[in-house]
């Protein structure tokens, strides 16, 4: 058993005091993952405080079953707290969420990017504002239901991929800073599968044990980005031309917001011999540029707003040999990072990837371990 200088055994969250004297705020979404975290910690005897964020209007959310921020989920989180006997609070973060996440999502989408709002939500809402609230509540740490691991390394806390590759959420957490990491705990990261999580929920008798996972972005019903953008930015869906990369006008469209880089289906330009893909969105000219599949391939990826989690300073080397993910659904691929400043770099992929889009994240992984070295945002075309 690990001991610190005062000979108190470290508890499971890494503190040299009994669980009963260790306050932990659990960020509860209402889903099975965060519910299990809260239940397990409560059973271990920790001073658990559950907090759920109301991120946008409840009335609209109630019609969206399965979204992480819906009114039903707030109700489910409260029921779990009642079952396990710890306090639960709902905090109104609607304005913060709109300003920090939704507005940028709309603007970047209108600019032709493919944004990942869940990363911004973790970065700007959960791990910034909620984390500060946890400190205001005199909590020793904040725990979440994310599938990722945190280890204490020789130079401080390290971020590592989850034990279950199918559930790993490292792509969405690359912007976690060292300071945030020192305060955060991820109790589910070591589990072998989601089945293990559900088994724990059933063992605790939690009402969410069989609740389905949410698949969509919480404020984007059924994955229909365009309909949300049209509500947020009326008049955004202006018609324009669908143009081949060689200059031929092939048809018209009802708005650039209906298209994404790499899209093949639903282009509305049937009858052509070669399969065509969206290779570029020219927002200013309201043009959707299409071309053959090989035009989607790229090896050079410009990245900015880099959050570096390595031990040595980012600019201490001319090159870093790592693996990178350019989309959440793709495996890490070998690459070379060439720093341009503390927060900008050029990433060269050893093998070209297709459909790399501005607005997506580029996350850095150690090639010899499960460690994550941070990442940044892809910010312009090839």
Asked if pLDDT for residue 348 goes beyond 60, the answer is yes
Closest CA to 31 of 163, 172, 207: 207
pLDDT at 66: 47
pLDDT at 57: 63
Q: How far apart are the first and last CA of the chain?
A: 52
User: What tokens were used for 265?
Assistant: 């289906």
Helix H, strand E, coil C: the string for 232-297 is HCCCCCCCEEEEECCCCEEEEECCHHHCCCCCCCCCCCCCCCCCCEEEEEECCCCEEEEECHHHHE
- Per-residue pLDDT band at 321 (split at 50, 70, 90): very high
- Per-residue pLDDT band at 7 (split at 50, 70, 90): low
Closest CA to 260 of 135, 136, 123, 108: 108
Between 27-31, 33-37, 264-268, 309-313, the lowest mean confidence (pLDDT) is in 264-268
Between 134-138, 259-263, 308-312, the lowest mean confidence (pLDDT) is in 259-263
Backbone φ/ψ region at 313: left (φ over 0), alpha (ψ -120 to 50), beta: beta
- In what helix (H) or strand (E) does residue 61 lie, and over which residues does it extend? helix 58-62
User: What tokens were used for 309?
Assistant: 């989690």
- Whole-number average pLDDT of the chain: 90
Q: Catalytic site residues? A: 121, 218
- Classify 371 as helix, strand or coil: strand
pLDDT digits (tens, 9 = 90+) for 225-246: 888 888 888 877 889 999 999 9
pLDDT digits (tens, 9 = 90+) for 54-109: 987 644 443 444 444 457 889 999 999 999 999 999 999 999 999 999 999 998 88
pTM: predicted TM-score of the whole model, two decimal places: 0.89
Asked if pLDDT for residue 127 goes beyond 80, the answer is yes
Domains and CATH numbers, the chain: 19-222 (3.40.50.620), 237-291 (2.30.30.280), 297-378 (2.40.30.10)
Residue that has been written with the tokens 């907090």 in this structure = 51
Handedness of CA 329, 331, 335, 337 (dihedral sign): positive
Instruction: Report, as an integer, the average pLDDT of 36-43.
Output: 98
| Residue 305 near residue 376, CB atoms below 8 Å | yes
Q: Alpha-carbon distance 182 to 5, whole Å?
A: 19
């Amino acid at each position: 058993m690990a001991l610190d200088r005062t000979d108190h055994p470290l508890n499971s969250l890494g503190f040299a005091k009994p669980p009963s004297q260790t306050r932990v705020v659990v960020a509860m979404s209402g889903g099975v993952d965060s519910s299990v975290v809260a239940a397990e910690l409560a059973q271990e005897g920790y001073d658990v405080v559950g907090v759920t964020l109301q991120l946008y209007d409840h009335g609209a959310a109630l019609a969206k079953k399965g979204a992480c921020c819906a009114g039903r989920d707030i109700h489910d989180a409260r029921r779990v707290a009642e079952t396990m006997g710890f306090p639960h609070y709902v905090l109104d973060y609607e304005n913060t969420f709109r300003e920090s996440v939704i507005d940028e999502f709309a603007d970047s989408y209108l600019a032709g990017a493919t944004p990942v709002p869940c990363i911004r939500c973790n970065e700007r809402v959960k791990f910034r504002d909620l984390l500060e609230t946890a400190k205001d509540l005199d909590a020793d740490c904040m725990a979440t239901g994310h599938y990722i691991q945190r280890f204490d390394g020789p130079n401080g806390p390290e971020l590592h991929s989850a034990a279950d590759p199918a559930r790993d959420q490292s792509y969405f957490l690359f912007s976690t800073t060292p300071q945030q990491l020192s305060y955060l705990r991820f109790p589910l990261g070591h589990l072998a599968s989601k089945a293990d999580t559900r088994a724990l929920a059933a063992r605790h008798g939690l009402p969410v044990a069989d609740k389905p996972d949410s698949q969509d972005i919480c404020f984007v019903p059924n994955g229909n980005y365009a309909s949300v953008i049209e509500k947020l930015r009326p008049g955004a869906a202006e018609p324009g031309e669908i143009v081949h990369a060689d200059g031929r006008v092939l048809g018209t469209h009802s708005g650039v917001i209906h298209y994404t880089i790499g899209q093949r289906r639903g282009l509305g330009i049937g009858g052509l011999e070669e399969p065509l893909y969206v290779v570029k969105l020219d927002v200013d000219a309201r043009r959707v540029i299409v071309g053959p599949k090989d035009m989607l391939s790229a090896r050079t990826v410009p990245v900015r707003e880099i959050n570096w989690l390595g031990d040595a300073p980012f600019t201490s080397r001319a090159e870093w040999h790592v693996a990178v993910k350019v989309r959440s659904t793709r495996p890490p691929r070998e690459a070379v990072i060439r720093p341009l400043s503390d927060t900008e770099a050029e990433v060269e992929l050893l093998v070209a990837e297709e459909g790399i889009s501005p607005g997506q994240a580029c996350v850095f992984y150690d090639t010899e371990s499960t460690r994550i070295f941070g990442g940044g945002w892809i910010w312009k075309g090839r």
